Amino acid sequence: MIANLYRYLEDTTRIWPEKIAVEDTDRKTITYQELDRLSDRVRDRLVSLGVRPGDRVGFWIRKSIDSIAIIFGVLKAGAAYVPVDPTAPPTRNSYIFNDCAVTAIVVERRFEQVLVSALSELGATPAILVIEEAGGGGPLQQELDREDHKEKAPPVESVPVKAADLAFILYTSGSTGRPKGVQLTHLNAASFVEWCAETFALSPSDRFSSHAPFHFDLSVFDIFSSVKHAGTLLLVSEELGKQPKDLSQAISDLGITVWYSAPSILSLMAQAGALKSQDYSALRLVLFAGEVFPVIHLRSLVKCWPHVRYFNLYGPTETNVCTLYEVPTPIPEDRTEPMPIGRICSHLDGILLDADGRVVKQGTEGELCIRGPAVTQGYWNLPDQSRKCFVNVAGGTYYRTGDIAREEPGGNLRYLGRKDRMIKKRGFRVELGEIEACLYRHPSVREAAVVALPDDALGMRVHAHVTPIQGDRISLIEMKSFCSEHIPVYMIPDRFSFHPSLPRTSTDKVDYQTLKNWSEG
């Protein structure tokens, strides 16, 4: 197995140099040879800026050919890439860059001023490479030309990385109110990519969707599976990705063969995408992950695309995908319960543990724990939290997912829920505690508590219960505007309720069960 992610690009370039590697959101394209050369130039420039093996390099630009070239350029320099959500507040993104001490950042011009200001407040001084509005690879090429005109970046060799070297850090929601960085190595990602190759029979004729943003772990499949198999990666912009009718038209027009996303957008397309009016004969695989897919909408999707194979993929960012279930089609009309999450992937091992850390019997619920080459080494700069997430049992060290599951008679695992206050919304992992921490920053908030309830359209609906300091209701516009300055859009509560006080348990803790009852009322 190749445990070097940039080797996928180099190997494919040798065999398919003129094949289209990536098609941008504005339909500009780049061949494998052009992408390889552009990423080489990124590598050379980063090294000239002081990037060394083991460093971290951040980027804050929209999904584009430019960002794909940056990813491979960072990897060739022996560094780890750190992507951030382009729509997230500057305070969050600058915190991420400062937290993992990036050596350099590639940023779009429109974000430069707020980034520099936020980093200055934190006392951080990484090298910054600014490009104009990303798209098609042109702006990145032009900036590299300008920098070379001032001082040529000497060509260097790509760093011969080891399997255990860090490849990227993906920041997820944290219960302390601060995002935490999941560290993932070349081996972690490559073991998953190689498993995908065996499982899904991917080939150079495949046209892969890229719906997930690059700070989301679903993008690992999109980018590296496509490049490994000499496929074409079709970038879906954030704007298009939220429009079910336009997106369903694009899937048809672009001849996408392999689709991968969270269920929420598939649910919307099944409801409002006019799927029966388009030609989807090219589509052969639909993979979904990140949250529960309501059966009513999955059944509708299967009716529209009856020729497609459907796979339910499950796994936290720390393991990427760790279980797989192929959905039998057609789905019976009387089925109401969600699909199982399936069996442990062949490159991993998994067990279910009870509250005392003992392996449970079949049919008994327990926390799903995973070990194997795809499992993270831990969280960036959080050694105590990293240690707590692993358990030594049954002859090995397992990552504790925090998800409760049960093995059914047929051998498939059924997801039962979380053991903590983490949810999945629109495919993103959200710690309700981080939302509460945001609300407590508001000067007029005395108390705040957040609960989440199942929702067919959103997957989960987040409801914030707030007690104002002065007893007066705070305007909804003000609350949502305040939240948008501190947390990503997908974390902003869907509903707000204001109360004189919050309910308490006998031990004087917030009574979340009562709040759930209020939210359901």
Q: How is the chain split among helix, strand and coil, in percent rounded to 5?
A: 35, 25, 40
Task: Give the pLDDT confidence score for residue 274 in this predicted structure.
Answer: 79
Distance CA 73, CA 47 (A): 10
Please name the residue ranges forming H helices in 201-354.
218-220, 226-228, 238-241, 244-253, 263-272, 295-304
Residue 437's contacts (CB-CB under 8 Å, 6 or more residues apart) are 176, 177, 178
Which CATH code for domain 422-520? Answer: 3.30.300.30
CATH class of 345-418: mainly beta
pLDDT for the residue 175: 64
User: Residue 516 and residue 521: Cα distance in Å, rounded?
Assistant: 9
Q: Is 205 exposed, middle or buried (0-12, 13-18, 19+ CB in 10 A)?
A: exposed
Q: What is the pLDDT of residue 509?
A: 61
| Cα distance between residue 244 and residue 116, in whole Å | 36
With beta carbons less than 8 A apart as the criterion, state whether 156 and 47 touch. yes
User: What is the token pair recorded at 189?
Assistant: 């990602």
Closest listed residue to residue 465, CA positions, set 400, 406, 511 = 511
CATH code, residues 5-241: 3.40.50.12780
Q: Residue 113 is which amino acid? A: Q
Equal fold, 5-241 vs 345-418: no
Tens of pLDDT along the chain (521 residues) come to: 778 999 999 999 999 999 999 999 889 999 999 999 999 999 999 999 999 999 999 999 999 999 999 999 999 999 999 999 998 999 999 999 999 999 999 999 999 999 999 999 999 999 999 999 999 999 999 999 999 999 999 999 999 999 999 999 999 887 667 899 999 999 999 999 999 999 999 999 999 999 999 999 999 999 999 999 999 999 999 899 889 999 999 999 999 999 999 888 898 899 887 788 899 999 999 999 988 888 888 999 999 999 999 999 999 999 999 999 999 999 999 988 889 999 999 999 999 999 899 999 999 999 999 999 999 999 999 999 999 999 999 889 999 999 999 999 999 999 987 777 788 887 788 888 889 889 988 989 988 889 999 887 667 899 999 989 876 779 999 999 999 999 999 999 999 999 988 887 654 567 888 898 898 86
Domain ranges for the chain, please list them. 5-241, 345-418, 422-520
Give me the long-range contacts of 154-158 (CB less than 8 A, separation at least 24).
154/44, 154/48, 155/40, 155/44, 156/43, 156/44, 156/47, 158/6, 158/10, 158/40, 158/43, 158/76, 158/77, 158/78
